[in-house]
Amino acid sequence: MNTSLPRATSSHTQPDTNSGMKSYVIGFVLSLAITAAAFGTIMSNAVPHPWRLVCIVALCVAQLLVQLVYFLHLGSHPDQRTNTAVFACTGLLIAIVVAGSLWVMHNANVNMMPTHVTVQGAMSRE
Amino acid sequence: MSSTTLPVMHDHASHDTSSMTTLGFWIYLMSDCLIFAVLFATFGVLAGNTADGPAGRDIFNLRYVAGETLLLLLSSFTFGAGMLSAKAGRRNALLVWLAVTLLLGAAFVGMELHEFAALIHDGAGPGVSAFLSAYFTLVGTHGLHVTLGILWLGVMMHQVFHYGVDEVVLRRLNCLSLFWHFLDLVWICVFTFVYLREFL
């Protein structure tokens, strides 16, 4: 233990720290830029209204990917493969839960009886 | 012979438990992710149900939200820098980075509490409409996570101060690092789908 630990730290940390700092700086700068772009999309008139939702969702996904890669170090590296697989499965579950809820409730709202029609009125028309 | 092989075995075993701990914590985070997914789905369904109360665009201040976002993003970066100090065994630098992260996190929670207090004061409390109930639940749950993260940061600073950066402390810091960055990910979805979407 005494002999293996210092060797491990000295051979690992130096390049690790440098490339690690670079990774955090890149991630931070990219995140700042994407955040500014997302707020700019809404707070300025640079993007026409129909495209705004598409634009902020795309920026949101981009920023999630940036932070997953540069901050959480998710990727195809052997150490990270299990984490990435678990994350992908969770992503699928989230997509099903969120998209399913929105879809079902949207349909329920669209097909709901209009408020000016009463139950009595609807039944007498049958 | 046993004295030469045993340390190696021990080292391997401890490395294994460490990576298993990280994986286990990651799986916990993913279950937490599902909680947030359900809250986001609820908010998405109820976002239009303002019950004649104020809508999001009447009560949200995007500049204020941008400030909160900046604080959380900065804290994510300072925590990352702290983790690098921890891996290099620089105890004092680590303590400074953790303290900065803690202050940024506390400032974020402070801003959020101030925002909530102002909303409730202006008659836009969680009881007014389904939209506001969903909003306070979603954003409040995130704020609660950050608050617990701050508590955990304080505990870890205490441990680093007293025990230095040993293997156990490093493992715990690794888990906290995942937790902290994860909260940043959730906040990205919050500012996009809760705040920005209101102003389309």
Domains defined for chain B, CATH in brackets: 27-199 (1.20.120.80)
Same domain flag for A63 and A84: no
pLDDT in tens, B2-35: 444 444 444 555 556 788 898 999 999 999 999 9
Same domain flag for A87 and A66: no
Same domain flag for A47 and A3: yes
What is the overall mean pLDDT for chain A? Answer: 83
Same domain flag for A69 and A85: no
Same domain flag for A58 and A107: no
> Virtual CA dihedral for B82, B84, B89, B94, nearest 10 degrees?
-10
> Is A35 in Cβ contact with B73 (below 8 Å)?
yes
More confident residue, A121 or B152: B152
For an interface test with A, give the residue of B4, B30, B91, B100 to mutate (most A CBs within 10 A).
Answer: B30
A6 has pLDDT over 70: no
Question: With an 8 Å Cβ cutoff, is B69 touching chain A?
Answer: yes
- At residue B81, the pLDDT reads 95
- At residue B14, the pLDDT reads 53
Same domain flag for A85 and A60: no
Final residue in a domain of this structure, among A73, A92, A117: A73
Range of the domain at A107: 80-126
Question: With an 8 Å Cβ cutoff, is A71 touching chain B?
Answer: yes
Same domain flag for A23 and A69: yes
Closest CB from A72, A90, A97 relative to B181: A72
A78 has pLDDT over 90: no
Question: With an 8 Å Cβ cutoff, is A83 touching chain B?
Answer: yes
Structural domains of chain A, count: 2
Same domain flag for A84 and A64: no
Question: With an 8 Å Cβ cutoff, is B35 touching chain A?
Answer: no
- What's the DSSP call for residue A71? T
Q: Which range among A40-49, B10-19, B175-184 shows the weakest confidence by mean pLDDT? A: B10-19
Sort out which chain B residues have CB atoms less than 8 A from A5's CB and list them.
Answer: 11
